[in-house]
């Protein structure tokens, strides 16, 4: 039994949102951490 297309699209959208959140968190950690290696 296959999943409904709406659920499939929602799953993709949810994963994309989580990926964007992780990228933003990594960005903030990368650029706003104390400059130790300088």
| pTM recorded for the entire structure | 0.50
Residue 30: per-residue pLDDT:
80
Please give the residue range of the domain that contains residue 10: 1-30
Token pair for residue 30? 């990368």
User: Total domain count for the chain?
Assistant: 1
CB burial string 3-13: b at 16+ within 10 A, e below: eeeeeeeeeee
CA torsion sign, 27 to 30 to 34 to 38?
Answer: negative
CA–CA distance, 28 with 35 (Å, rounded to integer) = 13
Lookup: tokens for 4: 């409904």
In-domain check, residue 38:
no
Structure tokens that stand for 7 in this block: 């659920």
Per-residue confidence in pLDDT tens, the chain, 38 aa: 566 778 888 888 888 898 999 998 888 888 776 666 55
Say if 10 falls within a structural domain: yes
Query: Do the domain assignments include residue 35?
Result: no
Does a structural domain hold residue 37?
no
């Amino acid at each position: 039994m296959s999943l409904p297309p709406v659920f499939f699209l929602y799953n993709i959208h949810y994963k994309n949102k989580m990926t964007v959140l992780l990228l933003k968190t990594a960005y903030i950690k990368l650029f706003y951490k104390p400059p130790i290696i300088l």
